[in-house]
Structure 1
Amino acid sequence: MTLSWAVIDEPNCADASKNKNSYACVSQHSTCIDDFMLSPSYMCECSGGYFGNPYVPSGCSRDRGYNPAPTKGKCTSSCGNISIPFPFGLEEGCFARAEFQLDCTNKESSTLAIHGSDMYVSDINVGEGMMGVQITSSGSNYLYSPGPLYTSSTLTLQMHWVVANLSCQEAALDITTYACVSANSTCLGLNLTDYDYGHLYIGYRCKCELGFQGNPYIANGCQDVDECEMTPGICSGLCHNTKGSYYSTPCPYKTQYDDIQKKCTQSKRQKSLLLGILIGLGAGFGTLFLALCSFFAVRKWRRDVQQKLRRKYFRENQGLLLEQLISTDENAKDKTKIFSLENLEKATNNFDETRILCRGGHGMVYKGILSDQRVVAIKISKVIEQSEINQFINEVAILSQISHRNIVKLFGCCLETKVPLLVYDFVPNGSLYDILHSTSESTFCLSWDDCLRIAAEAAGALYYLHSAASVSVFHRDVKSSNILLDANYTAKVSDFGASRLVPIDETHIDTLVQGTFGYLDPEYYHTGQLNEKSDVYSFGVVLVELLIRRKPIFTTESGLKHNLSSYFLLELKSRPIETIVAAQILEEASKEEISIVASLAEMCLKLKGEERPTMKEVEMALHTLRTKRSKYRIVAPENDQEMQPLLYSTDQT
C-alpha cells in the first residue's frame, strides 16, 4: 500500500507562497510542487543536488558525511567468501559513513547484509561503483484459495552507489572529506534522473586511472597493471610494461624482414613521401594546437571555479571583517596574517598524509614549513556552524594579540575553505599527557622539579588569560593533553577552539556545556554558567595527574572505571596522602611538598566555584613552593639525603 499526503492549507504553490507565516517550504534550497493527485494541495521537496527535510529550517543540505580514512587499526576485510573493501566495513571506525556499514550474519554461508535492512549483498565492485543486492519478499494470497497461500520471491539487483552527494569540483575543495585518496585515482560524477518525479541526484565516486587497478579509496590502492603479462599477444613484437601503459618493439627476425620489404617498395613510396609528410605535419600541428588550446581553456576554467569558490568561502567566513579588525589595530597588523590556501598547500606538501601530527574528534593537525622557513602546526577543524563564524573571527583577532611565553602563539588563519584553518607555532615535544601516561619505557621521565615548574608555568598562562589580557578569556578545555612542551620542555597552553571571550564587566557567560570528561567542572555542567573557576577545577585535575600519575578516567585492576578527581578526594579522606601518590613522587618530594600540592588540588576541586582559589592564588602557591624548595637545596644539599633524587637532570630517561 502506498499512502499519499500533501499540505491542504492552500490550493497550490502560488497561493501558498503568498502567506509566509503558513508556507510549509521553509528550508533554504527547497522547492514547492503542486499536487495534482490530491488537488487542491501542494508538497515540498529539496532542490536538485540537495537532500533532507524541506519542512524545517536548514533541512536541505549537501552531503558532508564522508571520512576518507578508517580510524580503527585492524578491520575485518571479508565475510566468508565475500571481500569487504573500504569504504565499506563491519566494525565501528572501519566504514567511511553510516550508510556503508554492513553486517556479517553468517561467515560459513557468506551472508552479508546492509546494516539495519533485509537486503543481502552478494558482491561489491569498488572500481565500477556497483553492488550486487538480493531482496527477499514474502506475502500471502487469500483471494484465490480456500486457505492462505504463502509465496516468496528473491529479487537480484545491481545497484549504483556513490561516496557522497557532491560533484567532483565540490568534493575536491574539502581535502578532509575527499574520497579519492589514491595517487593514481580520478573522480567520476554520477547523475541519475527519477522519471516519475523528475528529481536530479548528483554524486561522485572514484576510479583508478587507465592502466591502473585496485581500490581508489585507500592510499596507494591503485596499482599499475602489467598489460604484457595479463593480455598475451597485446603487442605485435616484444612487449614492455611501463607505469600506467606499455609499448612494443619489433622482434629481430621481423626487423630483417621489414628492411627487405622497405627496399623493395622504396621506389614506389618516393613519389608520395613528400606529400604524405606535408599532410601529416599539417594535421599533426593542427591537432596539437587544438589540444593545447582545449587544455589551457579547461585549466583556466577550473582555476576560475576554484577562485570563485575560495572567494565565496572567504566572504562567508567574515574575511572582510577580520581584515578590517587587523587594519584598525597596528599590533594585530604586525602579528596576524591571513594565509591563502595556496600557501598552506605548499607548506604541507598539498596536505600530505605524512605531515599529519594528530587526528582528534575536532579535526586534524598538520606540520607545515612556511616560505620563511618557520615550522608551524596547521589545524583543520571539522564543520563549524555558520552562526559561530563571527565569534570565531573575533577570537582570532583577540588571541593573535596575546603574547605570553607559556601560551602557544597563533600566527594567523586561512578563510578560503569551508571551515577556517588556524596556523600555530609548532611545539615539538608533544603534550604533558603523553609523558605522564605513556607506556613506553624509553619515554622522557619528568622529575618532581619539572612537574612543579610545568604546573607553575601553566597556571601563570591561565592567570594571564583570566585577568592580565585586554579581554578575559576562559579556556574551557584545560587538560594535560592541551599543555604542550617545547624543545626545552617549557609549558605551552594550547587549543583555544572551545575558549570564550568575556567582557571585563562580566563575571560569567551562559553557554552550551563543552569540555572533556574527567576535567569538566560539575558546577558548570549543571548550571551552564562558565566562569574562571571552571578552568581552576580542570587545573586541579591536572595537579592530581602529576601526583598520582593516573589518567582522568582510569580502570582499576578489577575492571571498574573511576573518575580521578572523585577517587582522589575519597581516598584523601580515608588514608594518608603518602599512600596515594605515585612511587616516583614519594621518592623525590618531601612530605611537606606533597601535602601542599595535594591541599592545593583539593581546594581547586571544590564543588562550589566560590570556594575555589583564583588562578593567581594557584600560581602564587606553586611559585612560593618552588622558591622555598630552591633555597632549601642551596642551603644544605649535602646534609639532606632525601633531596638527592631531585638533582638529576631532565636529560635522564
Structure 2
Amino acid sequence: MTCFSCMFRRKRTSCQHHDQLNEDIPGIEGVNIYTYKELKIATDDFSAANKVGEGGFGSVYRGMLKDGTVVAIKVLSSESKQGVGEFLTEIKVISGIIHENLVKLYGCCAEEPHRILVYNYLENNSISQTLLGSNRGNIQFNWRARVKICIGVARGLAFLHEEVHPHVLHRDIKASNILLDKDLTPKISDFGLAKLLPSNVTHVSTRVAGTLGYLAPEYATRGQVTKKSDVYSYGVLLLEIVTGRCNTNTRLPFEDRFLLERTWAIYEHGDLKHIIDSSLTDDLDAEEACRFLKVGLLCTQDAMKLRPSMSTVIMMLTGEKDVDLEKITKPGIISNFMDLKVGSKKKADQTNRSLIISSILENSPLSSENTTSASMTFTAISE
C-alpha cells in the first residue's frame, strides 16, 4: 500500500519510497499535502456545524489546522476519477496562480478516494451571504466598498483570462464564489476546478459547471464555453452588486423576477437610477453607479462577440474608457431559453431543458445560487 503521508509531506524524508515517489509524480514540489486524518480532525469530522457552503464542485468546511491556522476545506465531488498524479499536476498549476483578487490555495489531500482542497479562510464570507443575503451583520456595503469589489473581481478575472498561461476559464462566476477578506477585498474562488471534474476535451456529456441565472445563453443551450461566457456571468454579478438584489427572485411579480431582464427594461426607458440599491445613501455616486450598470449590460449582450474583454471592462469601470460611446444591444436573458429559443436543438431536448429550468426556479424562492446542480447535458465545449 502506498505511503501517502510520506509521499506528500515534503518535510518527512524517512520513508524508503519518498525519493521514488517524487520522481513518479510530477509537480508535487511546493504543494502542501495534508492527510485525510488531519483534515478530519481540523473540521471535527466534517461536522455540519463547520459546513460553510456547498456548490457544484463540492462542500466547504471551516477548519483549524494543528498550528492554529483557520482554513477553508473544500471536499470535491466524488465524481472525480483522476489518479493521484494527474490530480496533483492540476493542483500544482492552480497553486501557482497568485493574485490579490484570487483565493490562495494552501494545499490538498489526495488519499483515495478523497480529493480535498485547502484554502485560506476569508473572514467576511461570500457576497451571496452578506451583500445579497440576510447575514450582513456589521458590514457596511457603502458605494466605495462596492466599487472596490466590482473592480477587484474584474481584475482577478482579467488576470485569469489574459495573464495566466495557459489562460483559465472560470465557468462559474457568481456571488457565492466571490469571498471577502477583513478589508472587503474580493477574492475569486473555485477557479481552475473544472479540470478536476471528469471530462473529455473532444466530447463532453456532463453536468454544466455554471449556475442558472449567471449562465450565458451559448453556454446554457449549446455548452459552448469561452472567455465571453465568464464575461456574461461577471455582468450579471455586477448588476447584483449595484442593485443589492439576487439575479432571480421568484417572490416578486413575474416582470421583476429576473434582474437582467428588469435592468434592460429600465435602461430602455432611460431611468437606470431607479434600480440602484436604495440602501446606498451618503457616498453614492449615482452617475458612476449607472455607468457600472451599463457595463453590466454590455457584458451580458446576447451576441458573444459584442461583449467586452475583462481588461476593457476594467477601463470602463475606472473611467479610462467612455461607456456611453458603446452601443448596448439586448442581453441574452433567461426567458430566451425558457421560451425554448435555443437554436437548432431538437424539440424533445428543448422541452426537457424547459422543464428542468422551470422545476429549478420553483424550488428556488430567492436566488439562483441554489441551482448549481442543474442536470443539463451538453456536447460542444470549446475554447
Q: Above 0.5 in TM-score?
A: yes
Give the equivalent residue in structure 1 for 2:180. 485
Change (3 A) 1:612 1:361: closer
Change (3 A) 1:375 1:385: closer
Give the equivalent residue in structure 2 for 1:620. 315
Give the equivalent residue in structure 1 for 2:104. 409
Q: Within 5 A, what are the aligned runs for 1:179-218?
A: none
Separation in structure 2 between the aligned mates of residue 598 and residue 401 of structure 1, nearest angstrom: 33
Give the equivalent residue in structure 1 for 2:213. 518
Separation in structure 2 between the aligned mates of residue 611 and residue 322 of structure 1, nearest angstrom: 48
1:386 aligns with 2:87: no
1:423-462 alpha-carbon deviations (Å, 9 max, x no partner): 1111111111222223357442301111011111111111
Cα distance, 1:345 vs structure 2: 2.8
Paired AA for residue 190 in structure 2: D
Separation in structure 2 between the aligned mates of residue 457 and residue 550 of structure 1, nearest angstrom: 19
Contact 1:456 1:619 in 2 (8 A): yes
- CA-based RMSD of the aligned residues comes to 3.2
Contact 1:577 1:598 in 2 (8 A): yes
Q: Percent identity?
A: 32
Change (3 A) 1:383 1:366: same
1:607 aligns with 2:302: yes
Change (3 A) 1:350 1:555: closer
Separation in structure 2 between the aligned mates of residue 389 and residue 518 of structure 1, nearest angstrom: 34
Paired AA for residue 570 in structure 1: A
- Report SS of the residue matched to 2:27: helix
Separation in structure 2 between the aligned mates of residue 408 and residue 385 of structure 1, nearest angstrom: 22
1:455-499 alpha-carbon deviations (Å, 9 max, x no partner): 111111111111111321100000111110011111111023643
Separation in structure 1 between the aligned mates of residue 219 and residue 137 of structure 2, nearest angstrom: 39
- Report SS of the residue matched to 2:168: strand
Contact 1:518 1:564 in 2 (8 A): no
1:324 aligns with 2:25: yes
Contact 2:243 2:277 in 1 (8 A): yes
Cα distance, 1:622 vs structure 2: 2.1
Change (3 A) 1:326 1:442: closer
1:439 aligns with 2:140: no
Paired AA for residue 379 in structure 1: K
Structure ranking higher in strand proportion = 1
Cα distance, 1:308 vs structure 2: 7.0
Give the equivalent residue in structure 2 for 1:40. none
Separation in structure 1 between the aligned mates of residue 310 and residue 50 of structure 2, nearest angstrom: 36
Separation in structure 1 between the aligned mates of residue 22 and residue 247 of structure 2, nearest angstrom: 40
Change (3 A) 1:350 1:568: same
Give the equivalent residue in structure 1 for 2:70. 375
Separation in structure 2 between the aligned mates of residue 550 and residue 524 of structure 1, nearest angstrom: 23
Paired AA for residue 317 in structure 2: L
Structure ranking higher in helix proportion = 2
Contact 2:27 2:89 in 1 (8 A): no
Q: Within 5 A, what are the aligned runs for 1:109-258?
A: none
Change (3 A) 1:527 1:322: farther
Contact 2:256 2:262 in 1 (8 A): no
Give the equivalent residue in structure 1 for 2:264. 569
Cα distance, 1:523 vs structure 2: 1.6
- Report SS of the residue matched to 1:445: coil
Unaligned runs of 5+ in 2: 9-19, 322-383
Separation in structure 2 between the aligned mates of residue 442 and residue 346 of structure 1, nearest angstrom: 29
Paired AA for residue 515 in structure 1: G
Q: Within 5 A, what are the aligned runs for 1:509-588?
A: 511=204, 512=206, 513-558=208-253, 562-585=257-280, 588=283
Separation in structure 1 between the aligned mates of residue 300 and residue 24 of structure 2, nearest angstrom: 42
Change (3 A) 1:380 1:320: farther
Give the equivalent residue in structure 2 for 1:422. 117
User: Number of residues paired by the alignment?
Assistant: 302
Separation in structure 1 between the aligned mates of residue 276 and residue 63 of structure 2, nearest angstrom: 40
Contact 1:510 1:530 in 2 (8 A): no
1:549-606 alpha-carbon deviations (Å, 9 max, x no partner): 2211112544777222222223321341112222134764334212311221111011
1:490-538 alpha-carbon deviations (Å, 9 max, x no partner): 111102364359xxxxxx9875532000000112223322111111100
Unaligned runs of 5+ in 1: 1-306, 328-332, 502-507, 627-653
Cα distance, 1:409 vs structure 2: 0.7
Separation in structure 2 between the aligned mates of residue 349 and residue 322 of structure 1, nearest angstrom: 34
- Report SS of the residue matched to 1:433: coil
Which of the pair has the greater relative contact order for Cα pairs under 8 Å at 6+ separation?
A: 2
Change (3 A) 1:391 1:472: farther
Cα distance, 1:422 vs structure 2: 0.8
Computing the radius of gyration from Cα coordinates, the structure with the larger value is 1
- Report SS of the residue matched to 1:405: coil
Match for residue 354 of structure 1 among 22, 41, 49: 49
Separation in structure 2 between the aligned mates of residue 551 and residue 465 of structure 1, nearest angstrom: 25
Contact 2:143 2:283 in 1 (8 A): yes
Separation in structure 1 between the aligned mates of residue 163 and residue 123 of structure 2, nearest angstrom: 27
Change (3 A) 1:308 1:398: closer
Change (3 A) 1:533 1:342: same
Change (3 A) 1:481 1:624: same
TM-score, length basis structure 2:
0.70
TM-score, length basis structure 1:
0.42
Contact 1:476 1:500 in 2 (8 A): no
Cα distance, 1:403 vs structure 2: 1.2
